[in-house]
């Protein structure tokens, strides 16, 4: 299968590198990472160590493939969607953080849109070198056309051919909200406190803030018609925080490196949807304001 990965950062490179062992993969990313992959291939270390030779480019305009995987930051989804619209694809699948990405893609691309979540951990160690920090799984479900499982099964088959544990669900919206609850709990708290994920597991002041953010997110999900209990959301946070205890969240890494975060598509989405549904989310509102305030002071808000 021909696969294009839009957003060859840490996660995109790991996913693309694993798929390249079974498929014809092209990574679309930025230099100096792309140049390093073009020159010497992609090196993966950590859970497994291997080298692979995917194609790589900084310009995804006009590409054609059986599958486009979108792994860009949420704030870059619009730009990625416009670039994708210049090519032709059998299916487009989002594996991004936050909510709303699938609708943006569906508004631009003339292809089935598949929603997905991925739990494996990754870190871009150096140009051309990604660290695989946790095995994880992929979960996929139909987005557009709604209920159409045929493109979902094709995408799942591509992942499985590369020995990527993959599940297909008809309840992808609930899975996305559950992931949102995890990200809303872990990402801003660890970014603001500058701690690893394990600091929000168990008991303590940070865990209490993270739990409150997850509970609020679950309440908004229910108001939005998704059956996500507070217990399910908080258990997911505890599980992820414990299993990735030594990892830094993506938002923590963004703040530490002075980069824009995905706060708008995570806690900001919770705040906006809560306002639409008449829910109160004071913890998410404060976390959103604090991260946005840091971004504004650092000149990272557009």
Mean pLDDT of 139-167: 96
H or E element at residue 184:
helix 172-193
Question: CB atoms < 10 A from the CB of 280, how many?
Answer: 12
Question: Does residue 67 surpass a pLDDT of 90?
Answer: yes
Distance CA 157, CA 134 (A): 22
Sign of CA dihedral 193, 199, 202, 203: negative
Please tell me the predicted confidence (pLDDT) of residue 159.
97
156 and 13 share a domain? Answer: yes
Residue 179 annotated in active site: yes
CA distances to 18, 29, 31, 37, 243 from 57, rounded to whole Å, are 18, 6, 9, 9, 34
165 and 17 share a domain? Answer: yes
Mean pLDDT of 178-190: 98
Instruction: Give 290's pLDDT tier (boundaries 50, 70, 90).
Output: very high
Please tell me the predicted confidence (pLDDT) of residue 301.
85
Return the structure tokens found at 78.
């619009």
**CATH number assigned to the domain comprising residue 45:** 3.40.50.720
Q: Reduced to 3 states, what is the DSSP secondary structure of residue 82?
A: helix
Domain hosting residue 180, numbered range: 173-297
Query: Mean pLDDT score of the chain, rounded to an integer?
Result: 96
Question: Does residue 302 surpass a pLDDT of 80?
Answer: no
Q: Is residue 302 part of a domain?
A: no
Question: CB atoms < 10 A from the CB of 290, how many?
Answer: 16
Mean pLDDT of 242-260: 94
pLDDT in tens, 25-59: 999 999 999 999 999 999 999 999 999 999 999 99
Mean pLDDT of 165-187: 97
Q: Which residues lie below 8 Å from residue 220, measured CB to CB, with a gap of 6+?
A: 270, 273, 274, 277, 279, 281
Q: Is residue 50 part of a domain?
A: yes
Instruction: Give me the catalytic one of 179, 215, 252, 273.
Output: 179
Which of 153, 170, 187 terminates a domain? The answer is: 170
Say how many domains are in the chain.
2
Question: Does residue 134 surpass a pLDDT of 90?
Answer: no
Q: Is residue 60 part of a domain?
A: yes
């Amino acid at each position: 299968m021909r696969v294009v990965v839009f957003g060859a950062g840490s996660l995109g490179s790991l996913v693309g590198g694993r798929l390249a062992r079974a498929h014809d993969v092209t990574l679309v990313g930025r230099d100096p990472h792309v140049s390093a992959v073009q020159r010497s291939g992609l090196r993966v270390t950590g859970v497994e160590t291997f080298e692979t030779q995917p194609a790589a480019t900084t310009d995804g305009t006009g590409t054609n493939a059986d599958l486009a995987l979108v792994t860009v930051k949420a704030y870059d989804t619009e730009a990625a969607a416009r670039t994708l619209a210049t090519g032709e694809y059998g299916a487009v699948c989002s594996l991004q953080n936050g909510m709303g990405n699938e609708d943006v893609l569906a508004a631009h691309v003339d292809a089935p849109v598949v929603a997905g979540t991925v739990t494996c951990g990754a870190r871009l160690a150096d140009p051309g070198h990604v660290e695989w920090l946790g095995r994880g799984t992929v979960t996929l479900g139909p987005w557009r056309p709604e209920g159409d499982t045929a493109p979902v099964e094709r995408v799942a088959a591509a992942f499985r051919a590369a020995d990527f544990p993959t599940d297909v669900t008809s309840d992808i919206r609930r899975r996305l909200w559950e992931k949102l609850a995890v990200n809303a709990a872990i990402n801003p708290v660890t970014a603001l406190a500058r701690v690893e994920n394990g600091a929000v597991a168990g008991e303590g002041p940070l865990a209490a803030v993270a739990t409150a953010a997850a509970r609020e997110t679950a309440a908004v999900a229910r108001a939005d018609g998704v059956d996500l209990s507070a217990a399910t959301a908080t258990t997911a946070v505890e599980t992820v925080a414990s299993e990735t205890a030594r990892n830094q969240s993506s938002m923590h890494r963004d703040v530490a490196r002075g980069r824009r975060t995905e706060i708008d598509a995570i806690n900001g989405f919770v705040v906006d949807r809560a306002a639409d549904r008449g829910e109160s989310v004071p913890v998410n509102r404060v976390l959103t304001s604090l991260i946005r305030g840091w971004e504004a002071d650092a000149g990272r808000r557009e």
